[in-house]
Amino acid sequence: MTDMQAERGDTSATLRINWSDPAIGARLARRKRRQFWLKGLGLAAISVAFAMLFILVGSLLSTGYQAFRQTHVAMEVRLDPAHIRADNPARGNFRAIVGEAVANLFPEIEDRADLRSATGIVSNGAQFIIRDRVVENPDLIGQTIRVEVPVSDNYDQLAKGLLDRDTPEEHRRLKDDEIARFDQLAEAGLISKPLNTALLTNADSRFPELAGLKGALLGSFYALMTCFLLAFPVGIGAAIYLEEFAPKNRISDLIEININNLAAVPSVVFGLLALAVFLGWFGLPRSAPFVGGMTLALMTLPTIIIATRAALKAVPPSIREAALGVGASRQQVVFGHVLPLAMPGILTGTIIGLAQALGETAPLLLIGMNAFITSAPETPFSSATALPTQIFIWADSPERGFVSRTSAAILVLLGFLIAMNALAIFLRSKFERKW
């Protein structure tokens, strides 16, 4: 006893510290400074990431919002029977009709070259818009109707203030007289900037003012449906087998390792697979959303399997034991009790997987879903683009008007992604059960 006390006394003696020693204060300050720095670096790192996200979204919004409005010009169009035959209105000379309508807008212009340049204000698609109106209602032939048609890209940029009037004339895409003519129309109150519904109802076009996302949206929809119909049942089947029935042996291990690795294979490799197997060996059509959906299904499969297994694992064993106890077979237990309880988790995982698939671009490029297609697909087997590949095509296009269209298309894509993820979060919070 006394020994121990003596010992303790000894140790306390050796650890006696002189707290007034300035070295201690300096050391403490240094340690606190380090703490401050580490914290500061962490905050800085987070701020950098936040700033980048902010710049990303900000730049998309600031360039994209312009594309949600389209400059239109109102014209009195006389549907001259000399140009359109009543028995075949679709084959009329609508180019001449538009030319005459523009000439009416500028009665003072005599020179043919000036007139041609004035016609450039109106989009190339104006003749088709008028044609569609006439085909729809052939009684209009011979009458004069008032139509609002899109102006061509350069004038659209001018109206939106994206074309700097102060740049010297030789560097500007519109000459002084062209701008003057446009201003004349604007003063006459013929220029309007309505909401650009064509962005969603038109298919792709070479002219930015006419280009829309309808084809891409339908293509993405078909591809995602195919992806869901293939990956969802197969993924759930695989997950149930692996989680509930598979014996613990080398084959099950192999399948598991395989699935984990498949989840990390670069997406472009799936594109190579689709190109060689689906298009090359099976001869499936190029650019078809169905083939795109099959490719995406291969990529989504691991995500769905992993999510489903996690959801199945979360169902407590007591449920299984209770069902087994009252005489259910193992499959009856799974399909009658475990699977319905795991469904919210499975659906959440599936929606997140589909959202990833919606943004996937590279494999779709390789199977040709970046083709230039001016009509919306009618079936999943006709050629189409998808939303991300459409973004890629537009980002590559040199016309100025496509910059804001690309941003707008991205905003539409992000909108879908946000909606899908919100749905997933809603499902999880609404139906998830804590056991």
Partner 1 sequence: MTLLAFVLLLAAATIGYVLNLRAAKAIRADGARLHSLTTFHGGFAALLVIVPAFFFIVLWLLLQGSVVDWLVMSGLPDRVLEGLGAGERQLVLAEIRSIAGGRVFGEPEPWKLEAAERMTGLRATAGWLMIAGLVGIMAAALVYARRTVSAEFRARQGVEGIVHWIMIACATAAIFVTLGIVVSLVFETWRFFRMVPVHEFLFGTNWEPQIPIREDQVAAVGAFGMLPVFLGTLVISVVAMFIATPIGLFSAIYLNEFATPRVRSVVKPVLEVLAGVPTVVYGFFAILVVAPALRAAGAELGIAIAPNTALAAGGVMGIMLVPFISSFADDALSAVPQSLRDGSLALGATPAETVTKVLFPAAIPGIVGGVLLAVSRAIGETMIVVMAAGLIAKMTINPLDSVTTVTVQIVTLLIGDTAFDNPKTLAAFALGMMLFLVTLGINIFALRIVRKYREIYD
Residues 46-65 that bind partner 1 (CB under 8 A): 46, 48-50, 52-53, 55-56, 59-60, 63
Determine which residue in the list 42, 194, 336, 340 makes contact with partner 1, applying CB under 8 A. 42
Least separation in angstroms between residue 25's CB and partner 1 is: 15
Task: Tell me: does residue 237 bind partner 1 (CB under 8 A).
Answer: yes
Residue whose CB is less far from partner 1, 122 or 391: 391
Task: Give the integer Cα–Cα distance in Å for 279 and 281.
Answer: 6
Residue whose CB is less far from partner 1, 311 or 391: 391
Residue whose CB is less far from partner 1, 89 or 401: 401
Residues 146-175, interacting with partner 1 (CB under 8 A): none
Least separation in angstroms between residue 350's CB and partner 1 is: 15
Contact 131, 93 (CB under 8 A): no
Residue whose CB is less far from partner 1, 84 or 238: 238
Determine which residue in the list 235, 292, 293, 377 makes contact with partner 1, applying CB under 8 A. 235
At 74, is the secondary structure helix, strand, or coil? strand
Report the relative pairing of strands 72-78 and 191-192 from DSSP bridges.
Answer: antiparallel
Which residue do the tokens 């203030």 mark?
Answer: 161
Contact 287, 373 (CB under 8 A): yes
Determine which residue in the list 26, 41, 188, 419 makes contact with partner 1, applying CB under 8 A. 41
Task: Tell me: does residue 246 bind partner 1 (CB under 8 A).
Answer: yes
Task: Tell me: does residue 261 bind partner 1 (CB under 8 A).
Answer: yes
Exposure letters 293-331 (e unless 16+ CB within 10 A, then b): bbbbbbbbbbbbbbbbbbbbeebeeeebeebeeeebeee
Residues 265-324, interacting with partner 1 (CB under 8 A): 265-273, 275-277, 279-284, 286, 298, 301-302, 305
Query: How many CB atoms within 10 Å of residue 397?
Result: 16
Calculate ∠ Cα 155-159-160, nearest 5°: 115
Phi, psi of 73 (to 5 degrees): -120, 135
Interface with partner 1 by CB under 8 A: which range of 42-50, 72-80, 198-206, 339-347?
A: 42-50
Task: Give the integer Cα–Cα distance in Å for 259 and 174.
Answer: 57
Determine which residue in the list 162, 179, 242, 324 makes contact with partner 1, applying CB under 8 A. 242
Residue whose CB is less far from partner 1, 366 or 427: 366
Contact 307, 237 (CB under 8 A): no
Task: Tell me: does residue 68 bind partner 1 (CB under 8 A).
Answer: no
Task: Tell me: does residue 331 bind partner 1 (CB under 8 A).
Answer: yes
Q: Residue 247: which residues within 8 A CB-CB, separation 6 or more?
A: none
Edge-to-edge, what's the strand order for the sheet holding 72-78?
A: 144-150, 72-78, 191-192
Question: Helix crossing, 250-262 with 289-314: angle to 10°?
Answer: 120
Residue whose CB is less far from partner 1, 186 or 272: 272
Phi, psi of 191 (to 5 degrees): -95, 130
Number of residues that bind partner 1 (CB under 8 A): 92
Interface with partner 1 by CB under 8 A: which range of 17-25, 75-83, 137-145, 263-271?
A: 263-271
Residue whose CB is less far from partner 1, 276 or 322: 276
Determine which residue in the list 258, 318, 374, 429 makes contact with partner 1, applying CB under 8 A. 258
Which residue do the tokens 């769905």 mark?
Answer: 304
Task: Tell me: does residue 366 bind partner 1 (CB under 8 A).
Answer: yes
Residues 379-418, interacting with partner 1 (CB under 8 A): 388-389, 391-392, 395-396, 403, 406-407, 410, 413-414, 417
Report the relative pairing of strands 191-192 and 144-150 from DSSP bridges.
Answer: unpaired
